[in-house]
Amino acid sequence: MFLLEEEKKKLVEGLWNKGIKDENILKAIYDIPREKFISDALRKFAYDDNALPIECAQTISQPFTVAYMTQVLGVNPGDKILEIGTGSGYQAAVLLKLGAEVYSVERINKLYLNAKELLASLNFNVHLKLDDGTLGWEEHAPFDKIIVTAGAPEVPNQLLTQLKTAGKLIIPVGNQESQQLLEITRTETGFNKKYYDYFKFVPLIGAEGWKH
């Protein structure tokens, strides 16, 4: 128990040193049991600042990446947020801890089912859907914020149309080796773009993503 607390503390201090200054995000990362989102065999690495493999050849993102994207997204309690790429459910848990209303879409059935069971067991109230997230989630649009946690070849048009005015979409865009985090804000008349750091995500696969 003591060891776990020490590891969590070390992770959060490391994130602070890497530029994550939002204390609510650091607290969410401290409080969420990341070891539950990965397999037993990898539990000893749960609080290392690394991405880890989950089932179906996918990954749980590096804590720094989750924290950085959440900081860029800028979450306010009550925000209605669409996440594309539920994966392990960890990023959704961070958004929920920050008080957002979270809608998350995953294309792989096994991951969708795992995340559904895990998030319910941790008492997180989340809306999950098994589908191609490049098409968004039209019935619940528009959203205050949209976060895409897989690497896209370009920005899916459907996601732009499901943003509220003054709403924000963040998405890693590039080739399959490296993607630059792009922030798009919807204005009354169009869209403003801002570019951030480079990351490496698994591919966003779908009608408005990669074909494989």
| Phi/psi of residue 207, nearest 5 degrees | -55, -40
| Three-state SS at 195 | strand
Q: Does 150 bind ligand SAM (CB under 6 A)?
A: yes
The rounded distance, in Å, linking the Cα atoms of 51 and 64 is 9
Amino acid identity, residue 36?
K
- Rank residues 58 and 162 by Cβ distance to ligand SAM and give the closer one: 58
The position carrying tokens 């943003």 is 163
Which tokens go with 207? 């009608």
Told to judge if 121 belongs to the known catalytic residues of this protein, a careful annotator would answer: no
- Calculate Rg over the CA atoms of the chain: 16
Subset of 183-212 contacting ligand SAM (CB under 6 A): 201-202, 204-206, 209
- For ligand SAM, the binding residue among 108, 128, 169, 171 (CB under 6 A) is 108
- For ligand SAM, the binding residue among 46, 47, 52, 88 (CB under 6 A) is 88
Which one is catalytic: 39, 61, 88, 104?
61
| Three-state SS at 155 | coil
**Residues acting as catalytic residues:** 61
State the residues that interact with ligand SAM by CB under 6 A. Answer: 58-61, 84-85, 87-88, 90-91, 105-108, 111, 132-134, 149-150, 201-202, 204-206, 209
